[in-house]
Amino acid sequence: MIHLTAGCKVNLGLHVVGMRADGYHELDSLFCPLPTPCDHLEIRETGGQGIVLRCDEPGVTPERNTLTKAYDAFVREAGGAPGIAVQLRKGIPLGSGLGGGSSDAAALLLWLNERAGLPLDAAGLVRAALAVGADAPFFLYNQPCRVQGIGEILTPTDYDFSGLLLVLVCPEIHVDTAWAFARYDALFLHADRMATQNSLTKSPCEANKIFPSGTGNATWSVRDIRNDLEAAVFPQYPQLAAIKAELLRFGADTACMSGSGSSVLGLFSRVAAAKAEDTAAALRAKKWSVYLLPLGNTGM
């Protein structure tokens, strides 16, 4: 029996740059990996073919699961894979914007590649990951990265996160990613989409990028964090807006929703460590799942 641990990520800002003609959104975001919350995968080789998946979490079905998609994508790229049975134990909340499904997929892809007779190169792994979802390629690298395009353009960042503490709040709310982007489109992109049919509905402008100076990060700071999807999600889920307000009230330097939600994060400087601990305790008292973690330049 093989045991794999799949951590998660937070978006330290998410800017919607535009929409491609194929309907995919172009994004600019800063992803940071976290060791927890995490999922656990128990893998057993069956000696047959294909993947058999079991998970006790309601709403997780083999047909739609990212592990099944990852296995199928690897077979297409590599020409084959051993038959396996996987028991998935979820620790990353569904619909939390933490990339749990993508992290699971990347963990399985890396394991399959390690035991393959002819391993895929980096480009092949990225293609397989992209076939699963836009966030999946990031988890192949598992280090802080600027993420652009639909998730396939990754630029490692040397920004020093070591002086920051993260308070991550995960309420029992499931925000559907497709719904969040559709709602954002309805609010902000409909007119642009009608006017421009053959290219991005919004051209990438400096004001809409997470690093305005280009691929470098010299001008970025924690105070630049902004998640464009909050304007679409918060009216439907006011509890998330309330969590953000609470984080700021307790003294977070900045706060935002992660990805399409529903998790919300607050960043505290090391000198405010006591504030971060008090904040985490106060929010746990509201019966939310709360994590207090130091940020750094290493992942899981």
For residues 108 and 262, give the distance between their C-alpha atoms in angstroms, rounded to a whole number: 25
Backbone angles phi, psi at 201, to 5 degrees: -70, -25
Q: Distance (Å, rounded) from C-alpha 272 to C-alpha 222?
A: 14
Which residue out of 104, 135, 185, 228 is catalytically annotated? 135
Q: Is 90 a catalytic residue?
A: no
Beta strands in 63-199 (DSSP E): 84-89, 145-149, 153-156, 164-170
Residue 297 CB neighbour total at 10 angstroms: 15
Q: Cβ atoms within 10 A of the Cβ of 29, count? A: 25
Helix or strand (DSSP H, E) at 123: helix 122-132
Residues 6+ apart with CB under 8 A from 281: none
User: Catalytic: 224?
Assistant: no
Residues annotated catalytic, as ranges: 9, 135
